[in-house]
């Protein structure tokens, strides 16, 4: 089987597809990854073919960082405009390559994968990582996280979003479809996202709703196999063990990181980390995917981190403060450690609410209201959440859902 995986988006969109690709390759299938150019170095060492799509995603996110600081509803018009500007680029890059796929899997902001599948006459599957992205009256759309409303209101919000999608993006997609010799699609959202879907998120985050359109498969989150966990750097190990604080140091350790989300107000986040150390006696691992601490003098109790294996790191800390991305949330749940979510965009608000409902952390905190004190409170109370976090961990499948997803793709492509 030849599989095209097309996760257009950030690391959180791409990394699960890499894991799915690993499973497919292990079974003898040929995998092609279509993603932002900076992921070439992740794909080719795995033996995947690579198609660069669009621009470096980190550059794109830094340029538009202000959108992650806005209320999601306020940010929506600007997000739609950005998508309109990049759709033609995305589809142009996808169709600049020769395709021989037997099945196409889209993820993230991939809109051209469906067109590739139609031109090839092969199945198209959309893989999403959050229940909040599934069309259902049980919850509002991820892009309008207005929770606590009745089902009728949620249904109205979904109708508004799918209609807006068709007017703002569907018209552009139909223009490109005509150029490619494809018939117009007058329900583009459903065609791409709601016809054949894999929901790759642990069932403990919520069951697949019965009113979701199309054919759907629910599998556990696409997370790395525990046996593949990478060791931590010597410097990070030393920091975790106490380092210059002495091997007997018992001060708690906080992981503070927002994944691929860049910060407009990074000095404030650095000050929060500094205050946690200096005023609350906690050591802080301060993560950034964008080298935002480069050239900044940090106190000895704050460790700057660009990247580390979550499976190796998270069980070693006392509180995980993060943005609520689907992958980070899944890794945090598997660590058995309490977590505090600071949502920035789309599905992260849903995950923050669900973590609080599960009792493995407090209610989510808006980034604008995040302070050292608001982190110190759950850190002090962490044992209130610890038992539930450990129980939740025991209910999850450590190895994730890649095998079940691969089985499903084989079946759809007639290769099982």
pLDDT at residue number 244: 53
pLDDT > 50? residue 233 = yes
Between 246 and 83, the more confident residue is: 83
> Out of 8-22, 56-70, 132-146, 200-214, which region has the weakest mean confidence (pLDDT)?
56-70
DSSP states of 108-128: ET--SHHHHHHHHT--EEEEE
Token representation of residue 173: 């997609």
| DSSP annotation string for 142-179 | TTS---S--HHHHHHHHHHHHHHHIIIIIHHHHHHHHH
> Hey, how many other C-beta atoms are within 10 angstroms of the C-beta on 69?
17
The answer on pLDDT for 253 being more than 80 is yes
Sign of the torsion formed by the C-alpha atoms of 191, 193, 194 and 200: positive
Cα–Cα nearest to 99, from 85, 83, 112, 84: 112
Share of the chain above pLDDT 70, in %: 98
> Does residue 155 or residue 248 have the better pLDDT?
155
CA dihedral for 230, 233, 236, 238, sign (positive or negative): positive
Listed residue (8, 5, 23) closest to 222, CA to CA: 23
H-helix segments, 288-381: 310-313, 326-335, 348-358, 372-380
87-146 pLDDT per residue, tens: 999 999 999 999 999 999 999 999 999 999 999 999 999 999 999 999 999 999 999 999
Rounded distance between C-alpha atoms, residue 364 and residue 354, angstroms? 9
Joined together, the tokens standing for residue 376 give 């110190």
Of 302 and 66, the structure prediction assigns the larger pLDDT to 302
Question: Count H helices, E strands: the chain?
Answer: 16, 12
Are 94 and 165 in contact, with CB atoms under 8 Å apart?
no
pLDDT of 80 reads: 87
Alpha carbon distance 134, 138 (integer Å):
10
Query: Which residues is 52 bridged to in the sheet?
Result: 35
Question: Confidence band (pLDDT; 50, 70, 90) for 60?
Answer: confident
**Beta-carbon count within 10 A of 77 CB:** 11
Provide mean pLDDT across the span 294-313. Answer: 92
Q: Specify the pLDDT at position 248.
A: 47
Question: Considering the entire predicted model, what is its pTM?
Answer: 0.94
Q: For the ranges 249-253, 330-334, 358-362, which has the lowest average pLDDT? A: 249-253
Query: CB neighbours of 92 closer than 8 A, spacing ≥ 6?
Result: none
Q: How many CA atoms lie within 13 A of 171 on its CB side?
A: 7
| pLDDT reading at 245 higher than 60 | no
Is the pLDDT at 247 greater than 50, yes or no? no
Taking residues 27-44, report their average pLDDT: 97
* Best CA proximity match to 289, nearest among 52, 57, 107: 57
Under 8 Å between Cβ of 181 and 163: no
Q: Who has greater pLDDT, 416 or 265? A: 265
> In b/e form, how buried is each residue of 145-160, taking b as 16+ CB within 10 angstroms?
beeeeeeeebbebbee
Q: What percent of the chain has pLDDT over 90?
A: 83
The whole-number average pLDDT for the span 258-265 is 84
* SS3 state at 4: strand
Residue with tokens 């209130």: 384
Q: How far is CA 360 from the centre of its chain?
A: 19
- The widest CA-to-CA distance across the chain, in whole angstroms, is 69
- d(CA 294, CA 310) in angstroms, rounded, equals 22
Q: Which of 31-45, 181-195, 238-252, 337-351 has the lowest mean pLDDT?
A: 238-252
Average the pLDDT over 60-66 and give the result.
82
Q: What is the pLDDT of residue 364?
A: 97
Residues ≥6 apart with Cβ < 8 Å to 164: 80
Strand partners, 106: 6, 126
pLDDT at 155: 97
CA-CA distance, 340 to 345, in Å (whole number)?
16
pLDDT of residue 246: 46
Over the chain, what is the mean pLDDT? 93
Range with the poorest average pLDDT among 194-198, 262-266, 388-392? 262-266
Tell me what pLDDT residue 124 has: 98
**Mean pLDDT across 46-70:** 87
Report in angstroms the alpha-carbon separations of 354 from 66, 238, 364, 393. Answer: 26, 34, 9, 15
How much is the pLDDT for 69?
76
């Amino acid at each position: 089987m030849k599989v095209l995986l097309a996760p257009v988006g950030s690391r959180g969109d791409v990394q699960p597809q890499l894991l799915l690709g690993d499973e497919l390759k292990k079974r003898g299938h040929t995998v092609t990854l279509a993603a932002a150019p900076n992921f070439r170095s992740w794909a080719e060492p795995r033996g995947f073919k690579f198609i660069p799509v669009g621009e470096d995603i980190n550059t794109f996110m830094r340029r538009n960082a202000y959108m992650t600081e806005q209320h999601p509803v306020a940010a929506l018009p600007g997000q739609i405009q950005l998508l309109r500007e990049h759709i033609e680029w995305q589809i142009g890059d996808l169709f600049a390559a020769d395709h021989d796929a037997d099945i196409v899997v889209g993820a993230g902001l991939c809109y051209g994968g469906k067109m590739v599948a139609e031109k090839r006459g092969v199945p198209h599957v959309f893989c999403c990582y959050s229940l909040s992205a599934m069309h259902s009256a049980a919850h509002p759309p991820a892009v309008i996280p207005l929770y606590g409303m009745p089902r009728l209101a949620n249904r109205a919000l979904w109708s508004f979003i799918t209609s807006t999608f068709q007017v703002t993006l569907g018209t552009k997609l139909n223009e490109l479809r005509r150029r490619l010799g494809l018939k117009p699609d007058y329900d583009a959202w459903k065609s791409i996202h709601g016809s054949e879907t894999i929901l790759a998120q642990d069932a403990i985050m919520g069951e697949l709703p019965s009113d979701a359109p199309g054919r759907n498969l629910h599998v556990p989150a696409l997370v790395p196999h525990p046996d593949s966990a990478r060791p931590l750097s010597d410097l990070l190990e030393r920091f975790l063990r106490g380092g210059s604080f002495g091997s007997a140091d018992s001060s708690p350790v906080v992981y503070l990181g927002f994944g691929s989300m860049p910060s407009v107000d990074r000095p404030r986040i650095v000050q929060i980390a500094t205050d946690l150390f200096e005023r609350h006696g906690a050591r802080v691992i301060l993560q950034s995917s964008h080298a935002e601490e480069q050239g900044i003098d940090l106190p000895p109790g704050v460790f700057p981190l660009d990247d580390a294996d979550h499976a190796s790191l998270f069980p070693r800390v006392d509180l995980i403060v993060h943005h609520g991305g689907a992958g980070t949330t899944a890794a945090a749940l598997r660590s058995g450690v309490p977590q505090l979510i600071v949502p920035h965009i789309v599905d992260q608000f849903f995950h923050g609410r669900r973590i609080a409902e599960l009792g493995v952390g407090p209610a989510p905190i808006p980034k604008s209201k995040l302070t050292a004190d608001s982190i110190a409170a759950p850190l002090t109370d962490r044992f209130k959440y610890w038992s539930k976090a450990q129980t939740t961990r025991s209910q999850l499948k450590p190895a994730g859902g890649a095998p079940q997803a691969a089985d499903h793709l084989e079946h759809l492509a007639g290769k099982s």
